[in-house]
Structure 1
Amino acid sequence: MWRKFEKRAQRLNTLATASSMGMLLMLVQGTAMAAQETAANQGPTLDTVVVTGAQASGALKAEKALKKVAGNTAVVDNHEVERGRAANAEDVLALQPGVFAQATSGSGANKISIRGSGLNTFYQGYVLGIKFLYDGLPLTGPGGTQEDMLDMASVDHTEVLYGANAYLYSALSLGGAINFVSKTGRTDPGNYARLEAGSFGYRKQQLSTGGVVGDSDYYVSVLHNQRDGYQDDTSNKGQGLVANFGHVFSPKLETRFFLRYREETLTQGNPLTKYQLKHDPTSNDVPTGRKKGGSTLLGSKTTYTFDDNAKLEVGLGYNDYPLLNGWRYSATPQDWRSTDLNLTLRYLRTGDTFLGLPSDSSVTFSTTRAWLADVKSHFRDTGNTQQKTDYTGSRDTVFSLGNELQLGERTWLSSGLSWIDIKRKADIKYTTAVNTSEFPSGVDYSEYDLAPRLGLRYQLTPEFELFGNVSRSVDPPVTWQLGSTGTPYIRDVRPQKANTLEFGIRGGHGIFDGSLTVYRSWVHKELLSVVVRPASATEDQLIATSNASPTIHQGIEAGLNALLWENQNGDSIALRQAYTYNDFHYRNDPVFGDNQLPGLPRQVYQAELQYRQSAGFYAQLNARAASSYYVDFTNTLGAPSYVVWGAKVGYEAPSKKWEVFVDARNLTNQHYATAANTTYDAKGQDSANFFPGDPFNVTTGVAFHF
């Protein structure tokens, strides 16, 4: 009987999705009694088929841990994503309610936003308002997040923590945190080869090997990717290395060293008008070249378990991400140097009591310092320096206390308090221009703040749980938002702060499982950006960031999954759905009133219908629909709405030794915009602000385990 129940649970695991991982165990428990009642009437029990046992274990452990969070979270099993094209963060973060993730020019330049974080700060791939980590070590620093590292290479699973629910990673951003957990020799032993090829010259090759030797394990992966591009002159290519080495010294002490190295060269297309989007989408009059000469992320994490099972995690990180911006076409190329050093500490206690009640506690500390950070631009025709701006010494430090207290059999109270120390330094060391503005040539400030949080979970029934929380978020500006090389002055931009109320329900019954979350954020000094001067053949694009008057971010995040059909052989049909409603607007602004904030669709719906055979064949139909949204603060010009259809078929050999797939996207050849620039006032006239999405395209791939 148990073997049959185990087999059913494993089949459900293969259907588990990022939006449903948090409810999967509840659904399995709900079907256990039905499995017991039918076991006596069934024929002989078949041998258990292990589908993704070792691969899914990391995702399932993360899902179990995140169930204790009194708010919205999700876990993505990247092995499931790899059943199709896995080129960028858009592929991994699909079907996540409340998460907007779209790539432009088919490259790794992604616009990623959670609950409207950094909603209009997308300019050739920068991601703001979310803290990104690899294996709990910060990728995001005072200078932001380098988008070339969001290539999803060798990731076992992805944790998505909305808003203040990311407190265990010392993340205080409005959007929360996304933590990518690497594959290791224990989770992915053996040799692996993967080849992908598709439309517009897309190619991707990956080789990896991993294993366990005594008390140690190792994992090494090399990857190369290339794409000719859909828009004219938008080729990109990259190569990288991922490696980690772990050693268990004793049951109490273990450590792991991490290395990520990435080189990337790409040319991105300019935004188009709506007319061009429809009639001439390959146009690219003002391409932008970017080159990463070798981004390097070095880190280590050591865990010590005390006699009382308390754990101390110590993480060290070195993050170097040079950038040559405008290496082609720009009249004033910019050479960025950025090196961050970070230290993270996490002390976790479980099984304690407080006032006679079960209690778990955490103490976390994270500090990331810009050890070397500056940008220098020069005139291409003469080679002379145009301007140099220094950011060295900027820092983000967060210290947090947290507690999970079980008030009753069905009730848990979460509480916490974070202290953040923000230091921003931006100083123009040299410029050929004359500062005639009211702004200074340098800014150097430190700002402290407290961010409390309080949450409650209530087990309404064995199948459903209610949750709610109130919290405060603090988003420091990234260094280049204060100024870089486009103007001879620095803007004194201050941190964005918000108070958020969130509540929802999650669980499953019968064939259904899902979640529904509603939130509202009262935002002060929101960091908003606008294109002051579009790029041209003679001038680079100029962007200005400032603190806005009070704004509101509110919305609905809903996910519903259904196991529509399943036979005794394990063949099944499953439906995944995700819906997001965004309402971001001013609060009685003296100029814009209650206007909508530009940059993101008000409504996004995604669905995926999948048929899977236990023998290994699978077929899928998917859709993504997005409503229109404004691209200017005066709300006179909107991006077109769209519906994009896709399909995927594949086969995984019963031996799990090889797999092949075909992934087709935009079946109806829809002309649409994946993202848009933000302008101050378009005056209702069509203008070049829209980044075109790929038309009909096909990717095929094959993978081997040996």
Structure 2
Amino acid sequence: MPLFNWHGAGQVKQKKKNERYPKKKRNAAIVGLGTALCLASGAAAAQQAANAAAAAEVLVGATVVVNGQALRDSDKARARLDQIAGTASVVKQADVERGRSANAEDVLAYQPGVFAAATSGNGANKISIRGSGLNAFYQGYSLGIKYLYDGLPITGPGGTQEDLLTLNGLDYTEVLNGANAFSYAALSLGGAINFVTHTGRSAPGTSVSAEAGSHGYRKFGLGTGGVSADNKTDYYLAYFYNERDGFQRDTPNSGNEYVLNLGHEFSNRVETRLTVRHRNEELRNGSTITLAQLEADPRQNNSTTSARKKTGTTLITSKTTFTLDARSKLELGLAYNDYPLDNGWRYSTTPQDWRSTDGSVSLRYLRTGDTLFGKRSDTTVAFSDTRLLHGDVKAYDQDLASAVRTTERQYTVYTGSRDTVLSVANELQLSDELALSTGLSLIEVDRDAHIDRTILTTTESFPRAVRYNEHAVAPRVGLRYQATPDLVVFGNVSRSIDPPVTWQMGSTGVPYIRPLKPQKATTAEIGLRAGGDSHEGTLSLYRSWISGELLSTVVRQASQGVDALIANANAGKTIHQGIEAALTSRLWTSAEGSRLSYRQAYTFSDFYYRDDPRYGGNELPSLPRHVYQGELLFQQAGGFYAGLNTRALSGYYVDYANSLKAPSAVIWAAKFGYEDPAKKWKAYLDFRNLGDKHYASAANTVDNARGRDSANFYPGDGFSVYSGVVFRF
């Protein structure tokens, strides 16, 4: 059957004296490239895992001390993720803020396996891990990854709206590739990204920040945090405002966001944390343009239809931790996420009002230090339930001249859809060097999408309502081997389940619901983490056998006053495989503490059909096969720093027929800054796209472009300069 039937970094070392460390052709191309990469990096790929005792301390929340200093929360997170038999990483926000920090592209740079690109300046980020949400229509939603704030989900049955991917007020970000996100009940092909908010302990005092730069970019922030005199309560409050005129013409955006994080320790056994985020924003996404337009003038904008207004997204989360004894604890999490959307509010003839409210409940029981078969055993039991408490969309006819909405075109309801996961995981220390991790998840997917009212007609045979309840099982097994104190080798096999988000099944453009089913995959991964005095890095190779992959295509391009029309379908059998590598090298260090370092990340992505009746063995479109990022950074002991970085993207197809490609590109950037050793202030100057390269940051996906140039390319920003300053009191 055709796919679309149109007619039907850094490491944490925790050593203590007298302690021991617990201790077809494309496939051949991947193995060969992986071997070459290993040799080129001198087997420098990732880092040493912390020992089991230290991991247990991190797990139950005890203070871990290294060289007489307590670890920061981000370092504890890194130590915990290093126990995973797979690829995971931590991004410290302080490292990101040495330059512009405006969007997910800035925060997720240098993460192997992750592709993040802004398609319209600050907003509309295309984010994919291992090809997840491969060609989602990314002007408002992100697919194929579970997103969380402070361990609680903002992703629900309706997907993830982008308005909370502003990444303001963060301490650090956890990136867990694929099924390595098992502990967060995340079973998507891409895994999970967990954003951790500053607390009064991680950001004490008051800070004022300001950023400004090209294309009308402005961002201001005010934050304050502290801890009570009895050390029982901490708080963090922040306000952020952002504004941008846009690189493409007529693409302004603006927004403001409030963040609250309040924690309290009732006793040494009970503590709780409340976080609140509230954001308003208004933006107009630039249109896709042709290759000819991209070369001649990338600032062109063919349509201003995609105007979105968020009248107040609100996320409230609460997590209470009960320490039951020295080896076990229970976490109870509650989340409420309300995200209204006024789409096409001013410039479309068919605007839509979207209303979505998610409610989430999560439970995690963690126990360490048991004995099973005479071996040390750690066990986690987790439950997560996220449901759409209320979800619907209304589409109208609108008079463009007066901006008055007249006739209701269609009303579609999704209320009651939900995702429920129960998982049990165990890590068994088979020997001092070898650990076995196993897990089993039980998944229940409930989808209810139906059209209540419509004035549209169609000749398609799809129904006007789809309701189903589906169950699935997702096992996971992995091994982690501590080959040397500085080298860990790992491997795992896992199952992933990606249910369709509600609006993929049907929204407002057509009067029917597509009966989409969950995408399922089996993934095998092998890799290593290595660390030493001069080099630290990771290397992994993975292959996913996917059935029913959820893919999208643009049926009708947006034009003036008319929205784009997107179709979604389950594909047949596809393969995602690739290489993920990252390496940080300390090239030189002075006696005074000045240093020169080079960090780099490389992702090779090979995604294709398996003997599809229509597309044969064609490559799947939408992502570059090769992505390389590198940064040479000099940090002077007195606080001055300077860096030169590059991002190289190979060309890639934008259609399933493999007839039209986005061009390759190499983008250069540089930054300079100063960080006061007393941490009272810092400033930076960030130069982007030094060569003013005309390139496509991302592209739409179409069925068959027939080799002809078409308006499917999002232009990347041209030469830009940004500056910022932060003062702390």
Q: Establish whether TM, by shorter chain, passes 0.5.
A: yes
Query: For residue 354 of structure 1, what is the aligned residue in structure 2?
Result: 372
The offset of 1:135, in angstroms, is: 0.3
For residue 121 of structure 2, what is the amino acid of its counterpart? Answer: G
1:187 aligns with 2:215: no
Matches within 5 A, 1:430-449: 430-449=453-472
Determine which of 223, 236, 252 is the counterpart of 1:219: 236
- The range that moved more, 203-212 or 377-386, is 377-386
In structure 1, the residue corresponding to 2:378 is in which secondary structure? strand
RMSD: 1.7
Determine which of 635, 639, 642 is the counterpart of 2:665: 642
For residue 201 of structure 1, what is the amino acid of its counterpart? Answer: G
Distance change >3 Å, CA 25–CA 310, structure 1 → 2: closer
Determine which of 36, 43, 47 is the counterpart of 1:23: 47
Determine which of 199, 208, 214 is the counterpart of 2:223: 208
The offset of 1:561, in angstroms, is: 1.2
The offset of 1:655, in angstroms, is: 1.4
The offset of 1:59, in angstroms, is: 1.0
1:139 aligns with 2:162: no
Matches within 5 A, 1:266-415: 266-287=283-304, 288-381=306-399, 383-415=406-438
CA displacement, residues 205-236 of structure 1 (integer Å, 9 cap, x when unaligned) = 00000101131111100000000011010000
Determine which of 580, 583, 606 is the counterpart of 2:603: 580
The offset of 1:122, in angstroms, is: 3.0
CA displacement, residues 366-398 of structure 1 (integer Å, 9 cap, x when unaligned) = 000100000001111251211000000000000
1:233 aligns with 2:250: yes
8 Å CA contact 1:394, 1:424 repeated in 2: yes
Determine which of 511, 515, 521 is the counterpart of 1:492: 515
Query: For residue 501 of structure 1, what is the aligned residue in structure 2?
Result: 524
Inter-partner Cα distance in structure 1 for 2:561 and 2:281: 25
The offset of 1:299, in angstroms, is: 1.0
In structure 1, the residue corresponding to 2:120 is in which secondary structure? coil
Determine which of 682, 689, 697 is the counterpart of 2:712: 689
For structure 2, the 5+ residue unaligned runs are 1-12, 15-43, 51-65, 400-404
Determine which of 57, 61, 71 is the counterpart of 2:72: 57
TM-score (norm 1): 0.93
8 Å CA contact 2:476, 2:493 repeated in 1: yes
The offset of 1:437, in angstroms, is: 1.2
The offset of 1:58, in angstroms, is: 1.3
For residue 443 of structure 1, what is the amino acid of its counterpart? Answer: V
1:103 aligns with 2:126: no
In structure 1, the residue corresponding to 2:517 is in which secondary structure? coil
Query: For residue 554 of structure 1, what is the aligned residue in structure 2?
Result: 577
The offset of 1:341, in angstroms, is: 0.4
Query: For residue 675 of structure 2, what is the aligned residue in structure 1?
Result: 652
- The range that moved more, 434-443 or 353-362, is 434-443
8 Å CA contact 2:656, 2:703 repeated in 1: yes
Query: For residue 30 of structure 1, what is the aligned residue in structure 2?
Result: none
The offset of 1:674, in angstroms, is: 0.7
Query: For residue 87 of structure 1, what is the aligned residue in structure 2?
Result: 102
Distance change >3 Å, CA 474–CA 528, structure 1 → 2: same
Query: For residue 17 of structure 1, what is the aligned residue in structure 2?
Result: none
Matches within 5 A, 1:246-261: 246-261=263-278
The offset of 1:24, in angstroms, is: 7.2
Inter-partner Cα distance in structure 1 for 2:479 and 2:670: 41
In structure 1, the residue corresponding to 2:711 is in which secondary structure? coil
The offset of 1:538, in angstroms, is: 4.4
CA displacement, residues 314-356 of structure 1 (integer Å, 9 cap, x when unaligned) = 0001000000000121101000000000001110001111011
For residue 341 of structure 2, what is the amino acid of its counterpart? Answer: L
- The range that moved more, 433-442 or 555-564, is 433-442
For residue 204 of structure 2, what is the amino acid of its counterpart? Answer: P
Inter-partner Cα distance in structure 2 for 1:558 and 1:169: 24
Query: For residue 6 of structure 2, what is the aligned residue in structure 1?
Result: none
Matches within 5 A, 1:406-425: 406-425=429-448
The offset of 1:21, in angstroms, is: 11
Inter-partner Cα distance in structure 2 for 1:571 and 1:489: 63
Query: For residue 661 of structure 1, what is the aligned residue in structure 2?
Result: 684
For residue 74 of structure 2, what is the amino acid of its counterpart? Answer: A
For residue 266 of structure 1, what is the amino acid of its counterpart? Answer: L
Query: For residue 544 of structure 1, what is the aligned residue in structure 2?
Result: 567
In structure 2, the residue corresponding to 1:109 is in which secondary structure? strand
Inter-partner Cα distance in structure 2 for 1:123 and 1:89: 13
Matches within 5 A, 1:437-516: 437-516=460-539
For residue 178 of structure 1, what is the amino acid of its counterpart? Answer: I
Alignment coverage as a number of residue pairs: 665
Inter-partner Cα distance in structure 2 for 1:698 and 1:122: 29
Distance change >3 Å, CA 21–CA 137, structure 1 → 2: farther
Determine which of 653, 659, 678 is the counterpart of 1:630: 653
CA displacement, residues 466-499 of structure 1 (integer Å, 9 cap, x when unaligned) = 0000000000000000000000111000000000
Query: For residue 449 of structure 2, what is the aligned residue in structure 1?
Result: 426
8 Å CA contact 1:340, 1:372 repeated in 2: yes
Inter-partner Cα distance in structure 2 for 1:326 and 1:134: 28
8 Å CA contact 1:22, 1:64 repeated in 2: no
8 Å CA contact 1:21, 1:60 repeated in 2: no
Inter-partner Cα distance in structure 1 for 2:273 and 2:130: 33
The offset of 1:67, in angstroms, is: 1.1
The offset of 1:108, in angstroms, is: 2.2
Query: For residue 43 of structure 1, what is the aligned residue in structure 2?
Result: none
Inter-partner Cα distance in structure 2 for 1:57 and 1:76: 13
For residue 330 of structure 1, what is the amino acid of its counterpart? Answer: S
Inter-partner Cα distance in structure 1 for 2:682 and 2:560: 47
8 Å CA contact 1:109, 1:148 repeated in 2: no
For residue 638 of structure 1, what is the amino acid of its counterpart? Answer: K
% same residue: 58
For structure 1, the 5+ residue unaligned runs are 7-19, 27-49
8 Å CA contact 1:22, 1:74 repeated in 2: no
Greater RCO between the two (CA within 8 Å, min separation 6)?
A: 2
CA displacement, residues 107-159 of structure 1 (integer Å, 9 cap, x when unaligned) = 22110000000111133142100000000110100000010100011110100
Inter-partner Cα distance in structure 2 for 1:22 and 1:257: 34
Inter-partner Cα distance in structure 1 for 2:177 and 2:495: 13
8 Å CA contact 1:652, 1:660 repeated in 2: yes
8 Å CA contact 2:46, 2:583 repeated in 1: no
Inter-partner Cα distance in structure 2 for 1:108 and 1:568: 44
Matches within 5 A, 1:145-160: 145-160=160-175
1:591 aligns with 2:614: yes
For residue 203 of structure 1, what is the amino acid of its counterpart? Answer: R
For residue 353 of structure 1, what is the amino acid of its counterpart? Answer: T
The offset of 1:283, in angstroms, is: 1.1
Determine which of 118, 121, 130 is the counterpart of 2:133: 118
Query: For residue 532 of structure 1, what is the aligned residue in structure 2?
Result: 555
For residue 499 of structure 1, what is the amino acid of its counterpart? Answer: T
For residue 287 of structure 2, what is the amino acid of its counterpart? Answer: N
In structure 2, the residue corresponding to 1:604 is in which secondary structure? strand
CA displacement, residues 407-437 of structure 1 (integer Å, 9 cap, x when unaligned) = 0110000000001000111100110112431
- The range that moved more, 168-177 or 650-659, is 650-659
8 Å CA contact 2:672, 2:684 repeated in 1: yes
For residue 450 of structure 1, what is the amino acid of its counterpart? Answer: V
For residue 299 of structure 1, what is the amino acid of its counterpart? Answer: T
Inter-partner Cα distance in structure 2 for 1:208 and 1:384: 45
8 Å CA contact 2:578, 2:605 repeated in 1: yes
